[in-house]
Structure 1
Amino acid sequence: GVVTSADDGLSIPGVSVIVKGTTIGTTTDFDGNYSLNVPEGEKTLVFSFVGMTTQEVEITSATLNVVMESETIGMDEVVVTAIGIKRSEKSLGYAATSVKGDDITKAAPTNALEGIQGKVAGVSISSASGSPGASSKVILRGYSSITGSNQPLYVVDGTPVDNRRQGENSSTRSTDFGNNANDINPDNIESVTILKGASATALYGSRAANGVIMITTKSGKAGKMKVNYTGSFELSTL
């Protein structure tokens, strides 16, 4: 018989073909062909190959052609640490929660912080004021200070970012032009990782006492060029 791949229909050389329950077997040649003398009474052949799902096929005729399917292997979720090293989330000594960029843009948010609202437990996101384009207030695991700042540290592609509110405060007027996190295009985000454990301060020092929001932006990838366009506008009336 001959062994081929379900993905592209091409023959697979080097496939192990063994009579089930015995040591009798062979491998397919360069063209995916195999030939095997099966003892009387044996009814099943086992086909196995690296990256393919092992199959047990009942012998129904002298010629037995088999189509093998690729095996899907699950991998542990990985996160990017402070110095850009990818590690398994299970091996970290602090709480880390990741949100993929596709999940952020599903609801067409006006800014990146709105996109993660309601997707991470223990994260509270609200507007600092009612004015259009106002800064966003993010609290991780509740308030830690009465008089000081409770805002987390923002890190974009490994670089800490000043996310203080832009505006003017005086005795007669107060304006809020938003903060730097609102300027990040949600469509440019690959993933957002939120570090909520107290031990995460070891990565960035005392600035991370209220947690860290790590934003990883998209980068170029091999393959054909793709162009995506998303358009929207927001109208607010005071």
Structure 2
Amino acid sequence: MKQVFLLCGLSALGLTQSPVVAQQQSRSVSGVVRSSTDSAPLEGVGVAIKGSETRAATDANGKYTIRVTGDQPVLVFRSVGYEPQEIAVNNKQVIDVSLVPTEEQLDEVVVTALGIEREKKSLGYSVGTVAGEDLVRVPQTNVVNALSGRVPGVTINQTGGPGSTVSMVIRGQTSLSTDNQPLFVIDGIPMQNKLNNAAGGKRGDRNDVDYGNVISDINPENIESISILKGPSAAALYGSRAGNGVVLITTK
């Protein structure tokens, strides 16, 4: 009879301890992923536990949260155009990461204001570059959508379904107006990427129908490269219209 009670007691003790052990083995780790060049938050960075199927991704502010298990988990950070990085979790709850661009990006040639080509490392301001072949890997109805998660500090928002307006903001809102989009320059020709609707582009009218914006007329397969000028000195040659940045599109 004593053995029966002893076995029952051990079973009850095991049942009460198992959630505690599980709680100790599984915990949440969070942090911010930034670029080592300009400390801008990186969106869409893949965060995974090495040797596991558990994965997460950074948001528009470069923040991530992932649950880790095991005694010595290792986080792997990957993003297009950056060197992958592995970090041991140990007992850390917050892990901030700075990803280093690949050597190919450090030596690449970018298109600056007025179509002048210069080496990226020689510039005194931040320039994000996306090659044309990267834009067509995942088909998109709007070329701006193809930039999502590929350029640090760039936020992409779509107002509705397919074909609707897609807005682009570089390094956050710069004014109280509703239009904080950058100036688009296609093969040297400036254009505004504003809403196109039946009321002549003004929201709040009776015929407020979203027909998309001008950038949606461009076929991503016809683009050779896109350069995004972020700093005020980079956009100085385009005047006040470039106060929110400049997106230079070079076609084939």
Judge same fold: TM > 0.5, yes or no. yes
Corresponding residue for residue 168 of structure 1: 198
Choose which of 80, 83, 90 in structure 1 pairs with 2:114. Answer: 83
Choose which of 97, 105, 116 in structure 1 pairs with 2:136. Answer: 105
Distance between the aligned counterparts of 1:171 and 1:81, measured in 2?
38
Corresponding residue for residue 17 of structure 1: none
Distance between the aligned counterparts of 1:112 and 1:158, measured in 2?
18
Q: Deviations over 1:173-203 (max 9, x none)?
A: 4101111111100000101100111212312
Equivalent position SS for 1:199:
coil
Runs of 4 or more, structure 1, over 3 Å off, are 169-173
Corresponding residue for residue 149 of structure 1: 179
Q: Which has the larger radius of gyration?
A: 1
Kindly state the Cα deviation for residue 131 of structure 1 after the two structures are TM-superposed: 4.0
Across the aligned residues of Structure 1 and Structure 2, the Cα RMSD in angstroms comes to 1.9
Kindly state the Cα deviation for residue 217 of structure 1 after the two structures are TM-superposed: 0.5
Corresponding residue for residue 251 of structure 2: 217
* Residues 1:189 and 2:226 aligned together: no
Specify the code of the residue in structure 1 equivalent to 2:251.
T
Kindly state the Cα deviation for residue 84 of structure 1 after the two structures are TM-superposed: 2.1
Structure 1 unpaired stretches of 5+: 1-73, 219-238
Equivalent pair of 1:131/1:176 in contact (CA under 8 Å): no
Q: Deviations over 1:1-35 (max 9, x none)?
A: xxxxxxxxxxxxxxxxxxxxxxxxxxxxxxxxxxx
Q: Deviations over 1:88-124 (max 9, x none)?
A: 1112122101000111110111121111111111111
Structure 2 unpaired stretches of 5+: 1-103
Distance between the aligned counterparts of 2:220 and 2:184, measured in 1?
15
Corresponding residue for residue 96 of structure 1: 127
Corresponding residue for residue 169 of structure 2: 139
* Residues 1:117 and 2:148 aligned together: yes
Corresponding residue for residue 19 of structure 1: none
Specify the code of the residue in structure 1 equivalent to 2:130.
V
Equivalent pair of 1:200/1:208 in contact (CA under 8 Å): no
Q: Deviations over 1:29-76 (max 9, x none)?
A: xxxxxxxxxxxxxxxxxxxxxxxxxxxxxxxxxxxxxxxxxxxxx782
Equivalent pair of 2:154/2:168 in contact (CA under 8 Å): yes
